[in-house]
Chain A
């Protein structure tokens, strides 16, 4: 073979792209909103719940549009399940804010508007990061958290 004087840098052959593939909807759509905080209960037994709405076209999720109510401890439960069962590094949750639960505070404590908003944002970031992880998508706990009305804490952990 004679040696080329200038390097051959032509592109390799590739098939032309299907127009449907090029301009069709992307198959990676996944959006989760955490919104509408509501305070449930009375007196010292009050807590905040948030609406968790998921819209997706990923086939691994049974429902393409789901809406559930969850509280902070539910998110904690999910984090613990994933840390135990999956091999992923689970992102951090917004803080537990134990100090806010003590009495004699000048403000509304756990139900202070700015705090709830900060927590809501943190929870939204948390759930979006987890739900997009291919390894987390295999875990039953994630699907139960996002798409079932209530969380069965006695469930059998496993893969989807």
Chain B
């Protein structure tokens, strides 16, 4: 091996077999930049080719083995030395020897388990990636290729509404209701706030969505709260008996599914925070956890079915389930 910079080196490229057809998903990196990565689901096969291109054609490249790995890893920012791998698969592509020319190696990781969703947060990162390595005596030549994994769920069997009466004795009593406790990422939160007793001067009311990322276990648990959305639902002072509606569309906000105790390393939970502010800027609030889940995209089998529903919504015709009830209940003057 030469010490004067004329030694042979190589560039590695990892290319997926289904790069043309596979969908990409946007994912924010640690520094906040958004990028697109190939999207995979649990159980899917990850296959492709590793291209090793020699820098100086004609010269040999000695190596101690060529391999490709599929890795799922959790990295805590405050403890970067200890990256925890929960998925680690290896495929050897070449035994120790030498390359006389640029070469391409095929690989396939069949039906890979991807139990968790990719997540880049404030204090922790969970990522999946392919890493191809050409072993060298001093420094290995390697290349990583990140992919994004989404975990899908279906409509939960049990999805009760959240309904509660809260307040401060003799000052403020409200009853709040949210139509579900589990919402998918493109769902709508439909609810209402009913005022039972109002003895303070309220200025406005808002509904906030808060994400709480919990990292660490035992005595060193750390919570990081992040307000994702603030949505004003009432401006002005309500009186007893008034009912304020809530209709909050979640698709407009960047959220992930609820992640509970992922590999015993971290959790990501979401809370609805109902905040009332009085004229002296005093805040009264009630926080309630909701579960978020990711729904798979539905492939529409027939376009006529879709257009029938669309026309019902806008023209208010035939279907009693969707349009009839609205006019019956409409007694707000």
Q: Chain A: residues with CB nearer than 8 A to chain B? A: 1, 3, 5-18, 21-22, 24, 26-28, 30, 58-60, 129, 132-134, 137
Contacts and interface: CB of A to CB of B under 8 A. Distances in A.
Interface of B: 155, 168, 170-172, 177, 179, 186-188, 190-192, 194, 197-201, 237, 239-243, 245, 247, 249, 278-280, 282, 298, 305-306, 309-310, 313, 322, 325-326, 329, 331
Q: Which of A1, A13, A17 has the most CB of B within 10 A?
A: A17
B89 to A, nearest CB: 35
Contacts of A1: 155
A28 B200 contact: yes
A8 to B, nearest CB: 7
A6 B200 contact: no
B290 to A, nearest CB: 16
Query: Nearest 10 A-B pairs (CB), nearest first?
Result: A21-B241, A14-B243, A17-B241, A5-B309, A134-B171, A21-B240, A7-B188, A11-B245, A12-B192, A28-B199
Contact of A9 (B190, B243, B282, B331): B190
Given A10-B190, A12-B191, A58 B243 contact: no
A59 B245 contact: no
B280 A27 contact: no
9 contacts: A5-B310, A17-B242, A17-B243, A21-B242, A24-B239, A27-B198, A133-B280, A134-B172, A134-B200
Nearest to B244: A14
A134 B172 CA distance: 9
Contact of A6 (B239, B240, B245, B310): B310
Contacts of A21: 239-242
Contacts of B179: 12
Given A28-B198, A134-B171, A3 B298 contact: yes
Given A10-B325, A12-B191, A18-B241, A3 B155 contact: yes
A28 B187 contact: no
A10 B246 CA distance: 10
B3 to A, nearest CB: 66
Given A5-B305, A58-B199, 19 more contacts: A1-B155, A6-B310, A6-B322, A7-B187, A7-B188, A7-B249, A11-B329, A12-B245, A15-B241, A21-B240, A24-B239, A27-B239, A28-B198, A28-B201, A30-B201, A129-B280, A132-B200, A134-B172, A137-B171
Contact of B239 (A7, A10, A13, A22): A22
A8 B309 contact: no
B309 A6 contact: yes
A9 B188 contact: yes
Nearest to A129: B280
A59 B155 contact: no
Contacts of A13: 329
Given A5-B309, A132-B200, A26 B239 contact: yes
